[in-house]
Structure 1
């Protein structure tokens, strides 16, 4: 119990969308280095007693980089 008769409060991220592009180059025969960029949107829902029971969305630009390595030739 959280006090005041409140049984539970939870924050859920139930769905979201991403539009991303990725470009890369081979480092060697098994490894790819890449960069990505795009736009992301996420929906949030706060389950709580009224008036705190609300939902909203948040969005913004996404950027990142990474390495992808093949563990086998298949």
Structure 2
């Protein structure tokens, strides 16, 4: 009787552990992907925004010089 009652408990424990491990792995992967995406977006913004601002600044300066001349 005891062996019969213990086996399902062991199975349940194993299943629960496997499910928990899978969930944790999935959560970790999702978090890593989100962090990587955020970092890439920030890097792209940091790289692109100054370039755009510099280009706009050059255009403004050139336009101002042309207007002065």
Q: TM-score range by the shorter chain?
A: under 0.3
Normalised to the residue count of structure 2, the TM-score between the two structures is: 0.16
More helix by share: 2
Normalised to the residue count of structure 1, the TM-score between the two structures is: 0.16
Higher gyration radius (CA): 2
More strand by share: 1
Identify the structure with bigger relative contact order (alpha carbons < 8 Å, sequence gap 6+): 1
